[in-house]
């Protein structure tokens, strides 16, 4: 289970130090891909396999399903931690997430997200994002 937030810098080679508390969950490897809201999703291998199975169930005949699967898988790449606990982020994902030097790594339960610090700050300052309102809408759905 991943939770919490950490800020780290990306070096010129696209390497990012993973917080120590997240490393155990990545020891067997991981998959990174384009996430939603212009972040990078990082899945441990077992969770990636679960997600892959769910996406395989989407109907090929549904245009939005095909588009989502293309988007999700086309940005995906395997990864592993180096001896210093860093991940190397491919250039296409750095560009997609607009990662500069400063980044934020957040734990989101079964996955991690990597954000540019500027985009993460903007996301958290968005007035339309009301934790209370979202909680109420989810409660109305019975969640």
Here the CATH number for the domain that contains residue 93 is: 3.40.1550.20
Query: What is the spatial distance between Cα 90 and Cα 105, in angstroms, rounded to a whole number?
Result: 16
Confirm whether 80 is domain-assigned: yes
Which residue in the block uniquely carries the two structure tokens 């898988």?
Answer: 73
Tell me the residue range of the domain where 85 lies: 2-116
Confirm whether 122 is domain-assigned: no
Confirm whether 35 is domain-assigned: yes
Residue 32: both structure tokens together: 């990174």
Confirm whether 70 is domain-assigned: yes
Confirm whether 121 is domain-assigned: no
Q: What is the pLDDT along the chain (143 residues), one digit of tens a residue?
A: 899 999 999 999 999 999 999 999 998 999 999 999 999 999 999 999 999 999 999 998 999 999 999 999 999 999 999 999 999 999 999 999 999 999 999 999 999 999 999 999 999 887 666 777 777 888 887 77
Confirm whether 130 is domain-assigned: no
Confirm whether 112 is domain-assigned: yes
Task: Say how many domains are in the chain.
Answer: 1
């Amino acid at each position: 289970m991943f939770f919490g937030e950490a800020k780290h810098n990306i070096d010129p080679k696209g390497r990012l130090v993973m917080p120590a508390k997240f490393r155990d969950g990545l020891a067997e490897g991981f998959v990174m891909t384009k996430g939603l809201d212009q972040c990078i999703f990082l899945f441990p291998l077992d969770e990636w396999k679960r997600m892959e199975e769910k996406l395989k169930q989407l109907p090929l005949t549904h245009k939005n399903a095909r588009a989502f699967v293309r988007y999700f898988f086309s940005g995906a790449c395997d990864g592993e931690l180096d001896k210093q606990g860093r991940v190397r982020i491919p250039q296409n994902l750095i560009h997609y997430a607009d990662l500069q030097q400063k980044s934020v790594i957040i734990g989101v339960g079964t996955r991690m997200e990597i954000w540019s610090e500027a985009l993460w700050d903007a996301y958290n300052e968005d007035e339309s994002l009301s934790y209370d309102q979202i909680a109420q809408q989810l409660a109305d759905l019975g969640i």
